[in-house]
Amino acid sequence: MGITLNQLLAEDVLELTMVTPSSSQRLERLIRWVAPTELDDPTPFLRGSELVLTTGAFLKQTDDAAWFEFARRLQKAGVAAVGFGAGLTHQQIPKGLVDACVALEIPLLSVPYHVAFVRINEFVADAIVADRFLDVGRAGTLAAALAHSISNGAPLSMLLRQVADEIQGEAAILDIDGDVVSSWPLQNSWPTADLLRGLTNNGDSGYLAVSLDQAGAYDHILVGRSDDKAERARIAMTAASTLIAIDLNARLQEESSSASRMSDVVSALTDWTTPTATLVRSLRQAGLASDVPTVIVVAHPNPTYSAGYALRLRLAVQQVTPVVRSVRIGELLLLLAQGAEDATEPVLGSLRRQMPGRRIVVAGPARDAEEIRMVLASARVGLDPDQTTPERVRAFDLTSIVAAAAGRGGQQTGTTFLQPLLEHDRQFNGELIATLRAYLKCDAKPIRAAEVLHVHRNTLRYRLDQISKLLNSDLNDLGELLMCSLAFRLHDAGGRV
């Protein structure tokens, strides 16, 4: 908040003239305040960006070294310019001061004898007050625009776009871990080190931050990078922060308020004996239609589940589809998205842009309640532990087909078949289930399976012998291997660990 050196020089009534050569960049320096002084070291009373006015009463005209030290101290203090009033103590501006200001690149102004310093002070103060009123008015306009957008259900990224446009830069919401919840322009990270430096110098580096605690959006901050004046950008962000916080808090609460209804949906989807009519009713109660294309998203949060992660995931999907419902299934997070004819690929693209490096699978579209059930079964088993980016999986695979045909009884049979291995691993903290999974995934090839498991072939052979004895199965027989594979698929379709 202030007036530029150029604007000050343009005011004819002050009759100020530039003594030193100055670039256009120096002429655009912001004068935050005026500081008249007759001290040889006024820096303890300066904060930076001041126009220092002096008559030089404290130094001799010819003491060039002292004038240089005076100018050097002002440069280190970050003053915007120096104004020298000649005709009182010194009849002209000392050459030592002129040379020092040229060498240190400090703009030096000549103040006529008949122009009182207080007139300059009043002019700058009036300009600052007028500028502040203008900025407050702009901030009020921004707040009104945000309120209108929120009432019309605008996405969070669009609210941040309005803030970014106002501050002529970028805006984002970060959670307590520094992760980007939402941003404009869309980006996955924020230069945290630059942001922290910006917090220590009042945003003069171009970075600003405002806490969103005031409306209940705890552990979140609104951050911005601005090409505008720091104080102007800060006023705009402060005005926007309350409305942004209210909208963010509503979204966080929506996440938890729909959890119970979505839990009923998950129960109906994973219990294959649930009648279709009951499943349709559960979907409708959760705000989902049963007869429109539905995209299924399954994610494994890393390292742990958090409300912030769930919100980021939902916001990324909402860039494509307006209707999104989410719920936890054990360690996993399930999202059902509706609102577009076939949004599967666009949803995948949005997740890859905004949440790269995450274990997420996208499947669909499912066009009715029973298809949602089958596609979900495929998506859950399609989540690869070694996955490093969001991927699309087939809408239907052997797991979903077998589970649909066998129903709940078949799922229980699969678990019963594997029970000896499950019991062994629980009792001895063993790896037999994981070993058999890897062996089947590697097409029953021991060398490949040993490499995947990172064990010696003798260790793998010992484990396979244990598995054969516990299951009373010959793992060299194709039919027995098929039984093991089907048992795993039925077991997984039941949603068990």
Tens-digit pLDDT string for the chain (497 aa): 567 888 888 888 898 999 998 777 778 888 888 999 999 899 999 988 899 999 999 888 889 999 999 999 999 999 999 999 988 889 999 999 999 999 999 999 999 999 999 999 888 887 777 666 666 667 778 888 888 888 887 888 888 888 888 888 888 888 776 778 888 887 766 776 666 665 555 555 578 888 887 666 667 888 888 877 777 788 888 888 888 888 888 777 766 666 677 888 888 887 777 888 888 888 888 888 888 899 999 998 876 656 677 888 888 888 888 888 888 877 888 899 998 777 899 999 988 888 888 889 998 888 888 888 888 887 887 777 778 889 998 766 666 666 555 555 556 667 778 889 999 989 888 889 999 989 888 988 989 989 989 999 899 899 999 999 998 888 888 888 888 887 887 777 655 43
DSSP state of 291: S
| DSSP string for residues in 96-143 | HHHHHHHHHT--EEEE-TTS-HHHHHHHHHHHHHHHHHHHHHHHHHHH
CATH number at residue 324: 3.30.70.2730
How many CA atoms within 13 Å lie on the side-chain side of 273?
Answer: 7
What's residue 188's pLDDT? 64
Please check whether residues 421 and 380 belong to one and the same domain.
Answer: no
Q: Is residue 326 part of a domain?
A: yes
d(CA 31, CA 5): 7
Please check whether residues 385 and 418 belong to one and the same domain.
Answer: no
Nearest CA-CA partner of 146 in 134, 162, 157: 162
Question: 């002209």: which residue's tokens?
Answer: 92
What's residue 97's pLDDT? 94
Please check whether residues 96 and 217 belong to one and the same domain.
Answer: no
Q: Are 422 and 431 in contact (CB under 8 A)?
A: no
User: What φ, ψ does residue 199 adopt, rounded to 5°?
Assistant: -70, -25
Tokens at residue 244, please? Answer: 């942004």
Tokens at residue 473, please? Answer: 């199965």
Q: Is residue 141 part of a domain?
A: no
Please check whether residues 229 and 272 belong to one and the same domain.
Answer: no
Which residue among 231, 253, 275 closes a domain?
253
What's residue 39's pLDDT? 92
Neighbours of 128 (CB within 10 A): 18
What's residue 229's pLDDT? 73
Please check whether residues 244 and 180 belong to one and the same domain.
Answer: yes
347 SS3 class = helix
d(CA 362, CA 360): 7
Please check whether residues 299 and 223 belong to one and the same domain.
Answer: no
Which residue among 367, 396, 425 closes a domain?
396
C-alpha distance across the termini of the chain, in Å: 60
Please check whether residues 263 and 239 belong to one and the same domain.
Answer: no
d(CA 53, CA 317): 58
Structural domains counted in the chain = 4
Please check whether residues 275 and 383 belong to one and the same domain.
Answer: yes
Q: Is residue 136 part of a domain?
A: no
**Longest Cα separation, the chain:** 110
Please check whether residues 269 and 315 belong to one and the same domain.
Answer: yes
- Residue 365: is the preceding peptide bond cis (ω within 30°)? yes
Q: Is residue 61 part of a domain?
A: yes
Enclosing domain of residue 414: 401-493
DSSP state of 214: G
d(CA 360, CA 310): 12
Question: 């009036």: which residue's tokens?
Answer: 126
What's residue 345's pLDDT? 92
User: What φ, ψ does residue 324 adopt, rounded to 5°?
Assistant: -135, 130
List Cβ<8 Å contacts ≥24 apart for 306-309.
306/175, 307/252, 307/255, 307/256, 308/175, 308/176, 308/177, 308/179, 308/181, 308/219, 308/220, 309/179, 309/333
